[in-house]
Amino acid sequence: MIHRDGDWLAAKVGDELVMMSAAKGNYIGLSSVGARIWELIETPQTVESLCDRLVAEYEVDPATCRAEVDAFLAMLGQHNAIRIKDAT
């Protein structure tokens, strides 16, 4: 399961999202799709359910979607913005 992590302030600028860690003051900028993913994972969920949702909303094939989501989640993980826990 993907969970949001840390204390982030987030604000929309156009269709993009800019986030700042309240504790550390570091920043992340998200594209419109990234902003949508951040919105979706407000509810903790699996990578599979997240990808299903994105494939339904955007014109993308499942394999490409999965690869890009994995890379995106890895980036969020590096910034300590998410935690991934095994589903039980």
Partner 1 sequence: MFSYRVSGLAVASEVDLPGLIPGDPDRAPEVTIRNAPVPFALDDPEMVGPTWQRAGDRFLLRIPDIARFLLEDGRSIAFEAENGADPQDVAVFLSGSVFGVLLHQRNQIVLHASAVLVGGKAVLFCGASGAGKSTLAAALGKQGYPLIADDQCAIEIGDDGIPMIQADGRQLRLWEKSISELGLAERRGDAMRNRLLKFYVDPAASSERPVPIGAVYALTEIRHPDEPGIERPNIVDATKLLTVNAYRPMLIHRFAQRDVYFRGGTTIAATSGIFRLKRRLGFDGLPATIAMLRGHWTQIGLAEAAS
| Residues of this chain that bind partner 1 (CB under 8 A) | 9, 11-14, 16, 18, 20, 22, 25, 27-29
Measured from the CB of residue 20, what is the shortest distance to partner 1 in angstroms? Answer: 5
Residue closer to partner 1, measured from CB, 20 or 60: 20
Between 9 and 87, whose beta carbon lies closer to partner 1? 9
User: At a CB cut-off of 8 Å and minimum separation 6, what does 48 contact?
Assistant: none
Would you say 7 or 48 has its CB closer to partner 1? Answer: 7
CA angle, residues 36, 26, 46, in degrees to nearest 5: 35
